[in-house]
Chain A
Amino acid sequence: MITVYIPLALISLWGDGTAHKSNNLSVQLRQVLDHTMALVQAVHITCARSMTIKRAVAYRSFIGIWVSELKIHHPSVDHRPNCHMSIHIYEFLLSFGPVRSWWCFPFEHLIGQLQHLPTNNKFGVCRLYILCEIILNTSQRPIGIYDSHLLCPSCQAQGLVGLGQLPSSNQRVSSPLRESLCNQR
């Protein structure tokens, strides 16, 4: 949204070649557009899959422009703590690399899975306990099942299990079941 649709819409409304009632207005709108684009560029750099020192420096200059000019173009809004903290992302970009290794998306995803667990809709102790137990089952050990030499790749191919991956090179113990299944094929 912020990197594609909003810039497209705003440029077509306020960018070069658009007509406005007065000169003053078009200059002012252009400044607001440039200010918005500074933020868009900063977002773009943050989400990059690889990070260079040059990019990090560019990020800091863009976000610096955005923060310092916020009050000039929009006198009625106040700065938020996020404005300040966003400048520090520069340091973390340098020390931890691209943002994919240290952003919250995967953890929020985990929470989403927690919220979608079937429960008895009674809030409380019992429910939390079960909730915890279930998530520990589901999140840690689906692979554990496949690890127990119960299934072989052929079963997966037959569509018995559509979830998870089966370690195909798992040849520690050959269970009788496994052999029989393979023979059947």
Chain B
Amino acid sequence: MFKRLLLDHHYQRPVDRCGDIAQVSLFIGVLCSVILSISRRAADLIMGLLFLVLQLAFTPAAGGEMTILQQNTLKQIPTNITSALSRFNLHPRTTVYATCPSCSCLHKPVFKPGSSAAEYPSHCTNKPKPWLPICNQRLLQPSSNSPIKPYVYHHFHDFVASLLSRSEIDAIIDEPCDRLMGSLDRPAPLNSKDIWDGEFLRTFQGPLPQTLFIDRKGESRLVFSLNVDFFNVEGVRVRGETTSCGVISCACLNLPLDIRYKPENMFLAGIVPGPNEPPGDQLNHFLEPLIDDMVASWERGISFSHTALHPSGRVIRSAIACVVCDLPAARKAAQMSAARSYFYCSVCNCCDLKTLGRTDFHSERWNLRDKATLRQQAEEYKNAESVQQQEALFAKYGIRWSPLWKLPYWDPARQLVVDAMHCILEGLTGFHVRNVLRLTSVAADSPETLPPAFEHPFSAPVSTDSQPLTENEINQIKGIYCLLTSSVKNLDAEDGCHRQRIEDHITWLTKRLTAKTIRALKFVAIDLHCKPIHGDRIVEGGRILKVYWVNTLIQWVRLSELVTLVSSQSCSGEQNLGLLVCNPLNLEHKKSSSIYVPSLELLTPLLG
């Protein structure tokens, strides 16, 4: 029933058979290579030097032969680091898949009997979709017959075996299960300190019917959290991200918090090769080997021949309790629609981006999404017979097939967690401070900009057949709108120079407007029902110069909504923001613009 694994390689290392001096020499080389991270060439040099030192030390000063023991010691010391590493059995058991560069399908290596060289098919034999032809993309490099795009998968069971080969881990791995099992008859602790105190594991159904997962019945039960994330291999550079690789990793939640996240205790399943993120549902291929191992572990149980404290072996079943990713990677791993799409939530039934701000969390819409329905929708997607059908299903339900559905217990609404670090600490607080409160260094350095003096419902510039507009012209029209509503600086300073300030503003405005193109000016003027003006009269026919359009726009500003009294000091969100002085005669003329009540004391010097 159980899948049985032989694990002798975790307990027997060739180095144990070496002599003392050889052991220490090998250890120095391996230490430099693994822990001090020196390059292979440098490590080869160190091994060579060690060999030389020993040889010189062993050679008798008076001449003559070395003893047999000394000769043996020298024989045991390899001169390159690769064979030194192999004596420590450091390499984990991995499979190097050949990834198809076009469809990301994984191809398993085949080993011929008696040969250790991996062989791959030369071309991709996968049908990406049932209705598409075979991909037939080249998989191997022409010169070396090695895969163009290898994907190294570290066997999950091998990781568990290496974890349990350490006696201190083997001793405590069952502790949280037993503790929780013992406290099940009592109510949940009020003060939960770890995932084991939460509600999820208390009610998580196990592989055997009608039993909880933590009810281990002599086996061992391991709980993992899975993470998929994409990162830039070259580090964060000034010019931004250039490459993106994925990393699939797991953390064993059975370990106590202080050692759970040490690098040696975390499982790195593989690195999704770059240079770009796999598009669409291609990430599925990379998750599949891990999920297959997880399914085997859940359904059959893995019988380990040997662990540190159980020389006669033990049976282990593992489960993924939660999938912890940032929002984009979570949607990619679970193959649900993106966060900015119509189905923006993977947890509840809320949809339609317009309702993003809803907080009526007691209404029915906020109920968790149903696991059985989601599974059915994902399977419908998988079994669709044409690309149109698949796309229609995705548009309808917002979900694709993901290998996570192979796990019988997978429930995205409860297990695909919203990561608090990305969502709250990076997302919301950053958003609140930078975008809402605008506390950024850029905002602090930039000159204070005045808010618009008043609002006017300008019509949006749209290019039509009768009136084609270029992109540049559309931008210019928007710029003119801003200019027309701009405020006068320092108008509430009490030095009696109000008229002068307004005239200065008009001069500045004229200059800025003249810099715009005639077509943009004409569009705005016609939109505001203004006719071109030359001197005092309206120009009806003949050649119309740019300056006539500028004149009429200045007139519009001057007459209708004269100028504002917003000073640079009082513009920070005050309610009298955009306080406007109107020419009372023109109030009727501009009914549509929003008019604020003029403040009398400020009006007096202007009108007087």
Contact = CB atoms under 8 A, between A and B. Distances in A.
B167 interface: yes
The B contact surface, by secondary structure, is mixed
A172 B433 CA distance: 58
Given A77-B436, A104-B419, A139-B263, A123 B193 contact: no
Given A81-B340, A115-B235, A167-B168, A98 B428 contact: no
Interface residues of A, number: 102
A159 to B, nearest CB: 13
A97 B324 contact: no
A97 B357 CA distance: 26
Interface in B253-296: 253, 257, 260-261, 263-264, 266, 268, 270-271, 273-275
Contacts, number: 306
Contacts of B198: 94-97
A107 B264 contact: no
B229 A46 contact: no
B288 to A, nearest CB: 17
Contacts of B423: 82, 85-86, 89
A137 B91 contact: yes
Contacts of A109: 261
B197 interface: yes
B418 interface: yes
Of residues B168, B198, B428, which shows the largest number of chain A Cβ atoms within 10 Å of its Cβ?
B428
A18 B367 CA distance: 45
Given A24-B574, A87-B361, A125-B147, A100 B92 contact: no
Contact of A138 (B13, B27, B37, B197): B37
B183 to A, nearest CB: 14
Interface residues of B, number: 117
B35 interface: yes
The A contact surface, by secondary structure, is helix
Contacts of B358: 84
B159 A140 contact: yes
A104 B229 contact: yes
A158 interface: no
Contact of B424 (A89, A110, A115, A149): A89
A164 B579 CA distance: 68
Given A107-B249, A169-B167, 19 more contacts: A24-B574, A25-B575, A51-B191, A51-B193, A82-B423, A82-B427, A82-B431, A85-B418, A89-B424, A91-B368, A101-B257, A105-B421, A114-B233, A128-B271, A128-B273, A139-B263, A141-B92, A150-B27, A170-B167
16 contacts: A21-B570, A24-B576, A32-B437, A39-B432, A50-B193, A67-B359, A97-B197, A101-B253, A102-B417, A105-B421, A111-B229, A125-B273, A138-B34, A142-B264, A145-B34, A145-B90
Interface of A: 1-2, 6, 21-22, 24-25, 28-29, 32, 36, 39, 42-43, 46-47, 49-53, 60, 64, 66-68, 70-71, 74, 77-89, 91-92, 94-111, 113-115, 117-118, 123, 125, 128-129, 131-145, 147-151, 161, 163-164, 167, 169-170, 173, 175-177, 180
